[in-house]
Structure 1
Amino acid sequence: MSVRIGIRLPACRPVDQLAQAAQRAEELGFDEVWVPDSQLLWRDVFATLTAMALRTERLRLGTAVTNVETRHPSVVASGARTVAEAAPGRFVLGVGVGNSAVEPVGLRSTTQANLRERLGQVRDLLGGAEVDFGPVRSRLRDPNAELPVFVAASGPKNLRLAGEIADGVILLSGVSPATLTAGLGRVREGAQASGRSLADLEIVVSAYCHVTDDIEADARMLKPICAGIAQKGGAAALALAGIDVQVPPVVPGLYPDTVHAEDWAEAVRVCGQWITDEMAVRFAQAFCLFGTTAQIAARIDEVAAAGATNVFLQHVGSYDLPYELMESFAPSLAARTRAA
């Protein structure tokens, strides 16, 4: 595996426990930790990452992802600058359209035009420039122009935008060869529009991961994830893997949504109305990293060959830490270290 391997740590526990989890990820050989931002679901992402920075030495840390809808661009720039000071050269600012941060408070996901404008403001502030905020012009004291900004995207327009304006892109469509190839094509178009090539960007692929020797039995846990993708405009991508499904925009009884449901067993049961066991297995095989450690490592090599520079693993769950996944995948990280 020549790519950097990361792990997603949702900020679902007291900050000291989160910092301890990051420290364990570093001990096990992970290269990166990515923390999501959703103010009602988890602890504050910038406070969490600062605590993680102070407990680690090598690990690269990133937001996956924050947004410029619930957070003003000046707040994003200040928070990012603060974490970067705690982890010099080890912090990446990942930004997306909002999703689980905006919907529970009645806001809409960031439009492409607003994402472009507000990310431009974040970059200008980090670079020390004055920014026009309507009635006033302001600047950030103690800026950090070297801080990399990544954009998370799955749709074609935002993938092109990421290729055009970002230092890297976080691909949210898993490891499906068809969607990965299509996504990288859109990113390449954006990079070329700004006079760059795909080689000038970091390509981060996120994927749900579970170490198992019985995919058929364990794939059922993915039903809410698969349903959530269908809800968010991903039905066409799912169809490429033979999963033809339409899911209502809102599924009553699952709080706050299908992907982050607090009662996961109930979410699996409810989403079984649309996602069959066979569909869940196809989803696990096509879009996720489900299998033995050897099988997962081989899939990661394929993703790297397709153009990814980084892969970060997500466990199925929002309110527990992925210690089981980290420990079970650790032998693959150790084997990679020995090979290097």
Structure 2
Amino acid sequence: MTAADQGAAAAGGRVGIRIPACDRPDRLASVAARAEELGFDEVWVPDSQLLWRDVFSVLSVAALRTERIGLGTAVTNVATRHPSVVASAARTVAELAPGRFTLGLGVGNTSVAPIGLRSSTRAEMTERMAQVRALLAGDEWDYGEVRSRLRDPAPSVPIHLAASGPRNLRLAGAVADGVVLLSGVSPDILAAAAGQVRDGAREAGRDDDIPLTVSAFCEVTDDVTASARKLKPICASIAQNGGAPFLALAGVHLSVPDQVDEVYPDLLHAEDWDRAVKVAGRWVSDADALAFARTFCLIGTAEEIAKRLRETFEAGASGVFLQHVGSYDPPHDLIEAVGGDVLPRL
């Protein structure tokens, strides 16, 4: 066990890294292997068929190049992918990484929007997630007049649900093995979200000790103000997608149009990030960006980030996975900075 392994374990929570599927699977597997070497606990890969390579292909190669690090989707969906296809793909990765794979599911977002589909409804998520779970467990499922099952199932695959609003948080508590929270590391939001998850679990008659994994944008830096400016498109995107109440906790009050055609494909995943920062600056001031960074993100020195991570675990998170700014390059710098300077401090 490395010093970083020992530090993360001592902190009481798991520290992961988000790696977008932005390059060949073999190259991204090397990135995952480096994260493992430096002591990260988990690698999470997002799914969007037009923005990135196939998430399950990337995770399969990463499984073969690593030995202990957890691997997960953050997140795939059951809208563009039929639940039976998701179950088969999850089983395939789980076979290559026994006990290390987590299936993260969500409503679709960047998978559905670019092809003109809508996100899954709560009812659809409930039914399709039940189907995936049943197939992975080896149970039969009725497809109209046809009854089928998955050959060589993988019943040990945990299914985590991405959630943010109260209803979906309660749903996650009722039916999922864990929750992926995409709203940052604000202690107030974490406490409220954890409470909703526990309530959902109790209402369903389940154990309320549901793992809660939080995502947060992160940068190790001495210049928080400069780094915060780069977060303007992220802040604006949150406001676009119903996150105004979250931003208000930091004193950030924004009104952003539902669609910004000047940035492709959207503000959060802009191909030209400098342009996205400039466009988002119409609605997000430097002060807003700084408040957002300090409240929801992990931006600062290595010691400051280590302290915030401890506070995040104390607030109810069982894991945190870190994101760098940008969608089309691997997080090499973030892995080196956190693995070298932050994890040992935990």
Please tell me the TM-score bracket, short chain as reference. over 0.9
Of 298, 303, 315 in structure 2, the residue corresponding to residue 289 of structure 1 is 298
Give 1:237 deviation, angstroms: 1.1
Write the distance in 2 (CA, Å) between the matches of 1:173 and 1:324: 23
- Which residue does the alignment assign to 2:120? 110
Write the distance in 1 (CA, Å) between the matches of 2:289 and 2:21: 27
Of 216, 221, 230 in structure 1, the residue corresponding to residue 230 of structure 2 is 221
Letter in 2 for 1:108: R
Q: CA offsets, 1:112-169, max 9 Å, x none? A: 0000000000000001111112232211000111110000111111111111101100
Write the distance in 1 (CA, Å) between the matches of 2:290 and 2:258: 23
Q: CA offsets, 1:241-278, max 9 Å, x none? A: 10011111100111111100100000000000000000
Structure 2 counterpart SS, 1:48: helix
Letter in 2 for 1:277: D
Q: What is the 5 A alignment of 1:239-254? A: 239-254=248-263
Of 66, 84, 102 in structure 1, the residue corresponding to residue 76 of structure 2 is 66
What percent identity do the matched residue pairs reach? 62
Structure 2 counterpart SS, 1:20: helix
- Which residue does the alignment assign to 2:30? 20
Contact 2:190 2:317 in 1 (8 A): no
Q: Does 1:268 align with 2:277?
A: yes
Aligned length: 335
Of 220, 226, 240 in structure 2, the residue corresponding to residue 231 of structure 1 is 240
- Which residue does the alignment assign to 1:76? 86
Letter in 2 for 1:246: S
Letter in 1 for 2:84: S
Write the distance in 2 (CA, Å) between the matches of 1:23 and 1:117: 36
Of 185, 193, 197 in structure 2, the residue corresponding to residue 183 of structure 1 is 193
- Which residue does the alignment assign to 2:313? 304
Write the distance in 1 (CA, Å) between the matches of 2:51 and 2:21: 8
Q: CA offsets, 1:197-224, max 9 Å, x none? A: 432x211011111111111111011000
Write the distance in 2 (CA, Å) between the matches of 1:10 and 1:151: 19
Contact 2:190 2:316 in 1 (8 A): no
Q: What is the 5 A alignment of 1:96-135? A: 96-135=106-145
Structure 2 counterpart SS, 1:279: helix
After the TM superposition, list the runs of 4 or more consecutive aligned residues in structure 1 that deviate by more than 2 angstroms.
none
Of 197, 208, 217 in structure 1, the residue corresponding to residue 217 of structure 2 is 208
- Over 3 Å counting, the alpha-carbon distance change for 1:41 and 1:258 in structure 2 is same
Write the distance in 1 (CA, Å) between the matches of 2:143 and 2:302: 50
Structure 2 counterpart SS, 1:233: coil
Write the distance in 2 (CA, Å) between the matches of 1:155 and 1:318: 25
Letter in 2 for 1:293: A
Question: TM-score with structure 1 length normalisation?
Answer: 0.97
Letter in 2 for 1:291: G
Q: Does 1:167 align with 2:169?
A: no
Write the distance in 1 (CA, Å) between the matches of 2:39 and 2:137: 33
Q: Does 1:321 align with 2:330?
A: yes
Write the distance in 2 (CA, Å) between the matches of 1:177 and 1:306: 6
Of 196, 199, 204 in structure 1, the residue corresponding to residue 206 of structure 2 is 196
Structure 1 stretches of 5 or more lacking a match?
A: none
Q: CA offsets, 1:22-72, max 9 Å, x none? A: 010001110100000000000100010000000000111000000000000
Structure 2 counterpart SS, 1:325: helix
Of 152, 155, 159 in structure 2, the residue corresponding to residue 145 of structure 1 is 155
Write the distance in 2 (CA, Å) between the matches of 1:76 and 1:265: 35
Q: Does 1:29 align with 2:42?
A: no
Write the distance in 1 (CA, Å) between the matches of 2:223 and 2:168: 36
- Which residue does the alignment assign to 2:267? 258
Write the distance in 1 (CA, Å) between the matches of 2:218 and 2:130: 33
Letter in 2 for 1:35: V
- Which residue does the alignment assign to 1:43? 53
